[in-house]
Chains A and B, each alone.
Chain A
Amino acid sequence: EVQLVQSGAEVRKPGESLTISCKASGYTFTSYWIGWVRQMPEKGLEWMGIIYPGDSDTRYSPSFQGQVTISADKSISTAYLHWSSLGPSDTAIFYCARHGELFPFDSWGQGTLVTVSS
C-alpha cells in the first residue's frame, strides 16, 4: 500500500526558516515524481512543484520558484519542502502527493499545517 506520511504542524515567526518532510513507503520511491500542493486557509489547491527522487530533477511553478526549495533523500524515501525565510502568506496546509504512472496525485500525504505569526 502506498503511504505518504508528513511531518507534524509547525509554528514559526516571519523570517524564520523551515523544512517539512514527506516519508514514502509501499512503492519504489525513486521511480515516481512527488510533488507539493499548498492550501491557504479556506482556499483552493495550488501546485508548487515536483521532484523526481531518482535523479533529483525538479520543476517549480512560477508562483513558487525562488520562494521554496524541494528536495529528496532517496536513502530514506523522504521528500522535503524548505523555506529559508517564511512570510505570513506561507500560513497554509501543505500536502505532498505522488505522481502516479497514469496521472498526478494518485496518493496524498495527510497534510502539514504551517502557521507563520509574530
Chain B
Amino acid sequence: AIQMTQSPSSLSASVGDRVTITCRTSQGIINDLGWCQQKPGKAPRLLIYGASSLQSGVPSRFSASGSGTNFTLTITSLQPEDFATYYCLQDYNYPITFGQGTRLEIK
C-alpha cells in the first residue's frame, strides 16, 4: 500500500494567517491526490481533487499543488471556520490511503 506522510501533525495559526500543509507519498502517484477537511464531530469534506482542482463550493482561499510524490495544501487568510483537521489521500491505486492528518488550531 502507498504510504502517506503529512507534515506537520499539528499547527497553530491565527485568523488571517497563511498556512501550508505538506503530503509526501511513498511512490509516485502522478496527480491522483486529494485533500479533505474534517471538523470535530462532523463527516469529512472533500476540498481538493486531482492534486490542485477545487471541489465545487470550496472557497478560493484554498489552493493545492504538486505531482509525483510531493504535494501541498495552502490556505491563505485563515478564517475561523478553517480550524479543523486536514487529510491528504491518494486514489492512484487500491487500497486508497490517507495521511495521518494535520490538526490546525487557533493560536
Please give the residue numbers on chain A whose beta carbons come within 8 Å of chain B beta carbons, in ascending order: 35, 37, 44-47, 59, 61-63, 95, 97, 102-106, 108-111
Contact = CB atoms under 8 A, between A and B. Distances in A.
Contacts of B89: 45, 47, 104-105
Q: Interface residues of A: mostly helix, strand, loop or mixed?
A: strand
A67 B45 CA distance: 27
A47 B43 contact: no
A14 to B, nearest CB: 26
Nearest to A4: B43
A108 B43 contact: yes
A105 to B, nearest CB: 5
B43 A62 contact: no
Nearest to B36: A105
B84 interface: no
Contacts of A35: 96
Interface centre among A35, A44, A105 (most CB of B within 10 A): A105
Contacts of A108: 43-45
Given A104-B34, A105-B89, A47 B95 contact: yes
A102 B44 contact: no
B83 interface: no
A44 B1 contact: no
B46 A47 contact: no
A95 B91 CA distance: 17
B87 interface: yes
Contacts of B97: 47
B34 A103 contact: yes
Interface string B55-95: 10000000000000000000000000000000101010011
